[in-house]
Protein backbone atom coordinates (compact mmCIF):
# COMPACT_ATOMS: atom_id res chain seq x y z
CA UNK A 1 0.00 0.00 0.00
CA UNK A 2 1.58 3.24 -1.11
CA UNK A 3 1.11 6.29 0.94
CA UNK A 4 -0.11 9.31 -1.03
CA UNK A 5 2.21 12.25 -0.64
CA UNK A 6 0.82 15.72 -0.62
CA UNK A 7 3.09 18.47 -1.77
CA UNK A 8 3.84 21.12 0.79
CA UNK A 9 2.93 24.75 0.54
CA UNK A 10 5.22 27.60 -0.39
CA UNK A 11 4.54 31.02 1.07
CA UNK A 12 6.39 34.07 -0.15
CA UNK A 13 6.26 37.09 2.08
CA UNK A 14 5.48 40.54 0.69
CA UNK A 15 8.86 41.62 2.08
CA UNK A 16 10.68 39.10 -0.13
CA UNK A 17 8.73 40.29 -3.18
CA UNK A 18 9.48 43.92 -2.27
CA UNK A 19 13.21 43.10 -2.09
CA UNK A 20 13.19 41.70 -5.62
CA UNK A 21 11.17 44.65 -6.92
CA UNK A 22 13.27 47.34 -5.25
CA UNK A 23 16.49 45.80 -6.56
CA UNK A 24 15.06 45.82 -10.10
CA UNK A 25 13.98 49.47 -9.74
CA UNK A 26 17.34 50.65 -8.45
CA UNK A 27 19.08 49.08 -11.47
CA UNK A 28 16.94 51.08 -13.93
CA UNK A 29 18.35 54.06 -15.78
CA UNK A 30 16.91 57.38 -14.63
CA UNK A 31 16.07 56.33 -11.07
CA UNK A 32 17.66 58.39 -8.30
CA UNK A 33 16.16 56.23 -5.56
CA UNK A 34 13.10 54.95 -3.80
CA UNK A 35 10.77 57.23 -1.89
CA UNK A 36 8.86 56.56 1.27
CA UNK A 37 5.21 56.16 0.30
CA UNK A 38 4.09 57.92 3.45
CA UNK A 39 4.26 61.52 2.32
CA UNK A 40 4.70 64.13 5.02
CA UNK A 41 3.50 67.62 4.20
CA UNK A 42 3.22 66.62 0.54
CA UNK A 43 7.00 66.23 0.18
CA UNK A 44 8.63 63.09 -1.13
CA UNK A 45 11.40 61.80 1.08
CA UNK A 46 14.28 60.14 -0.75
CA UNK A 47 15.28 57.06 1.19
CA UNK A 48 18.88 57.26 2.32
CA UNK A 49 21.29 54.43 1.45
CA UNK A 50 21.03 53.24 5.06
CA UNK A 51 17.23 53.07 4.79
CA UNK A 52 15.50 49.98 3.58
CA UNK A 53 14.52 50.53 -0.09
CA UNK A 54 11.59 48.14 0.40
CA UNK A 55 9.88 51.03 2.18
CA UNK A 56 9.13 52.43 -1.26
CA UNK A 57 7.34 49.26 -2.38
CA UNK A 58 3.80 48.12 -1.60
CA UNK A 59 2.90 44.53 -2.48
CA UNK A 60 -0.66 43.26 -2.77
CA UNK A 61 -2.35 40.09 -3.95
CA UNK A 62 -5.35 39.78 -6.26
CA UNK A 63 -6.46 36.15 -6.46
CA UNK A 64 -3.25 34.30 -7.40
CA UNK A 65 -1.50 37.32 -8.87
CA UNK A 66 0.75 39.98 -7.45
CA UNK A 67 0.25 43.75 -7.62
CA UNK A 68 3.16 46.05 -6.93
CA UNK A 69 3.14 49.79 -6.27
CA UNK A 70 6.50 51.52 -6.51
CA UNK A 71 7.29 54.97 -5.17
CA UNK A 72 10.32 56.38 -6.95
CA UNK A 73 12.28 59.55 -7.41
CA UNK A 74 13.65 60.02 -10.89
CA UNK A 75 16.57 61.94 -12.33
CA UNK A 76 15.62 65.46 -13.37
CA UNK A 77 15.58 65.73 -17.17
CA UNK A 78 14.71 62.13 -18.05
CA UNK A 79 11.62 61.26 -20.05
CA UNK A 80 9.43 60.19 -17.14
CA UNK A 81 7.02 58.03 -19.14
CA UNK A 82 9.85 56.02 -20.75
CA UNK A 83 11.65 55.46 -17.46
CA UNK A 84 8.36 54.43 -15.80
CA UNK A 85 7.64 51.93 -18.60
CA UNK A 86 11.16 50.52 -18.23
CA UNK A 87 10.67 50.17 -14.46
CA UNK A 88 7.35 48.36 -14.94
CA UNK A 89 8.81 45.89 -17.45
CA UNK A 90 11.95 45.28 -15.39
CA UNK A 91 10.09 44.68 -12.13
CA UNK A 92 7.47 42.43 -13.76
CA UNK A 93 10.20 40.35 -15.44
CA UNK A 94 12.37 40.09 -12.30
CA UNK A 95 9.54 39.07 -9.98
CA UNK A 96 7.98 36.58 -12.39
CA UNK A 97 11.36 35.05 -13.18
CA UNK A 98 12.32 34.70 -9.51
CA UNK A 99 8.97 33.45 -8.23
CA UNK A 100 7.15 31.89 -11.17
CA UNK A 101 4.00 33.75 -10.13
CA UNK A 102 2.22 36.14 -12.53
CA UNK A 103 2.38 39.84 -11.76
CA UNK A 104 -1.00 41.40 -12.52
CA UNK A 105 0.19 44.98 -12.46
CA UNK A 106 3.10 47.22 -11.58
CA UNK A 107 2.22 50.82 -10.78
CA UNK A 108 4.90 53.49 -10.71
CA UNK A 109 4.26 56.55 -8.55
CA UNK A 110 6.79 59.26 -9.34
CA UNK A 111 7.17 61.09 -6.05
CA UNK A 112 9.63 63.65 -7.34
CA UNK A 113 12.45 64.61 -9.66
CA UNK A 114 15.94 65.28 -8.35
CA UNK A 115 19.40 65.96 -9.64
CA UNK A 116 21.49 62.90 -8.91
CA UNK A 117 24.63 63.44 -6.86
CA UNK A 118 26.95 62.64 -9.77
CA UNK A 119 25.23 65.25 -11.97
CA UNK A 120 25.65 68.10 -9.51
The Cα 92–Cα 66 span in angstroms is 10
Q: What is the DSSP letter of 95?
A: H
- Of the segments 1-5, 19-23, 39-43, 84-88, which one has the largest average pLDDT value? 84-88
Whether 89 is covered by a domain: the verdict is yes
pLDDT digits (tens, 9 = 90+) for 107-118: 999 998 988 665
What CATH number corresponds to the domain at position 39? Answer: 3.30.70.1350
- Residue 23's domain comprises 14-119
Beta-carbon contacts of residue 97 (< 8 Å; ≥ 6 apart)? none
**pLDDT at res. 17:** 95
The domain total for the chain is 1
pLDDT digits (tens, 9 = 90+) for 77-95: 999 999 999 999 999 999 9
pLDDT of 4 over the 80 cut:
no
Whether 41 is covered by a domain: the verdict is yes
Amino acid sequence: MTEERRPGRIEISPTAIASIASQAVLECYGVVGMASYTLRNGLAELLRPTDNPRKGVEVGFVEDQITIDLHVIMEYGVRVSEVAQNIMASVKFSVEKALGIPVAEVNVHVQGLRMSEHAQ
